Amino acid sequence: MAPAPNPGPSATTLVAGLAAIGFWRLSAVAAPHMAALGVMLETEADFGGRMGFALAWGILNFCFIALLRRPALSGALSLTMVVLLVLLSRLKHDVVQMTANFVDLMVIDRDTAAYLFTIFPNLRWSVVGAALVILPLMYALWWLDPFRIRRLPAAAGLLACLAALTGQAMTWPDEAWRGYYDDGYLSKFARSGVTAVSDFATYGFMESEAVTAERLKMPLVDSCHVAGRRPHIIMIHDESSFDIRQANGVKVPPGYGSHFKSFDGRERKFMAESSGGASWMAEYNVLAGLSSRSFGRFSYFVTRIASGRVERGLPLALRRCGYNTLSLYPAYGAFMGARGFQSSTGIQHFYDARDLGAKGIEPDSFFYDKAVKLIAEQPANTPLFTFVYLAANHFPWETKFRPDLLPAWSKPGNAPVVDEYLRRQTMSAGDYAGFVASLKKKFPAQPFLIVRYGDHQPEFSSNLLDPGLDEARVARKFDTYDPRYFTTYYAIDAINFEPVKSSAVMDRIDAPYLPLVIQEAAGIPLDPSFEEQKNIMLRCKGVFYACKDGAEARRFNRLLIEAGFIKGL
């Protein structure tokens, strides 16, 4: 007898199987949106922020749907971007106490990424691990997604969300101090895109007077006649350094404070334009002799914007007087456009971390030794300007930098990050003393003028200066440039040279005046642009951008534009 034929799966079983498959595919579509809802509730603090988040989420989803037509994959890609933005924004806040904004897209390049991997060596493996998880997941979503959405409705949704976000950002713009809050990552990022585009369309990159009847005289090629011998000039970027005794209750090691004194025993104040990070703002100040604050919300990217556009500064002024110019830089040259910017201001020989053979963050002695070697290679009868950019005192201070160095160090008894900061400052002071001794030994008959400055305070300084303030009040102090948060130091030293006395060598200066102070102390005749800036300095008593509510800086920027020193801004 023949066996009965197999009836196959029952209708009920088939329906159940199809339902099961449908459930998982529908879940693949819904899951990213549910996860995004959780992120929104966790990171956005108010109704306005949540509305901005929802609109930005819509923009991302509709954009990917218009490209891919698959809502599940589009949602997953949108969620990945949002999570990545949140993580990067938190990282930026840890570094410079500000969350990410739309203009941060300008800093994404290979050298910026390499610099982050140097500072955070474990980050590289986190990225690799995330890629190994995400890429197969994206492929699975591509295969599972049962839906296809037409591109025209997706484009319409994208435009609708973009219009709504623009209306919200223009009607209820974020106050600048909100950028210091450690929340609202996506909403602030999205709304900053609207305001950045609006500001650029209205003001351009840099503030300047619309017109001025005044004109700067152009410097003559042979107009630099120095009385006496020109000293070699060394300018030292002392990373994250300030006199921590500005805060009450901090215990410091014996002898602390001598590092901040000049050759004459005086302690001088340097008013930086950033706090907690963004060293390149000080780099712009001390090389171009101008204010990063003139760039408004674009100031964070000042060296990139200025590269090839601002052709004025200390190195160019010194080259007019016969100096050779070189720079030692602790990161890769493309980071924040450093190589291009420094070349625009007159640096002839730029040595980045790759050129110098740096392996990660190096102690100050590494750069000082390289500087001595490069100085020895220059013609002895040609004066030299050397910019030494240090990095050993860079964050994070939660980990001990080079435990093998300074073995006799004894903790003063502060919070761990403060004690590590003080240990690194002690290392820096010792390395600087060794550098001066090396210059005296190797160049016994040559004159040197050495000027050091602290580029900004460390990111934890606000907690020491105002331990009782909440985040909102601290943010307002940053936004209004409270001097206590922006004061570091500058110091003048000399070897076989007597610094020239000048009314410009003040006890307290805004950062853009440092190139003027250096030229005056070295006895270098000023070109017409620095002569005009000296007049501003004396009128404003060492204040630059804030003098007359910015009017002096705007007028000076216009003079430089008309003279051809600033182009395309």
Mean pLDDT of 441-468: 93
Predicted confidence (pLDDT) at residue 544 exceeds the cutoff of 80: yes
Q: Is the pLDDT of residue 428 over 60?
A: yes
DSSP string, 105-151: GGG-SHHHHHHHHHH-TTHHHHHHHHHHHHHHHHHHHHHH------H
Return the closest-CA partner of residue 89 out of 186, 194, 197, 196.
186
Question: Within 13 Å of residue 321, how many CA atoms lie on the same side as its CB?
Answer: 24
Measured CA to CA, the distance from residue 254 to residue 236 in angstroms comes to 24
pLDDT above 90 for 96: no
Q: For position 14, what pLDDT does the model report? A: 46
Provide the pLDDT confidence category of residue 1 given band limits of 50, 70 and 90. very low
Res. 18: pLDDT tops 50: no
Ordered domains of the chain (ranges, CATH): 15-203 (no CATH), 232-562 (3.40.720.10)
Per the prediction, the chain carries an average pLDDT of: 85
348-396 pLDDT, tens digit each: 999 999 999 998 889 999 999 999 999 999 887 899 999 999 999 988 8
Residue 178: the pLDDT is: 67
The pLDDT tens digits for 244-294 are 999 999 999 998 999 999 999 999 999 999 988 789 999 999 999 999 999
pLDDT computed for residue 81 by the predictor: 84
- Output the pTM of the full model: 0.77
State the pLDDT at residue 529.
94
pLDDT in tens, 508-526: 999 999 999 999 999 999 9
Closest alpha carbon to 504 in 524, 485, 488: 524
Average pLDDT score over residue span 482-488: 94
Statement: residue 128 has pLDDT above 80: no
For residue 328, name the pLDDT band (cuts at 50, 70, 90): very high
Q: What count of other Cβ atoms lies within 10 Å of the Cβ of residue 4?
A: 6
Tokens of 541: 């008593």
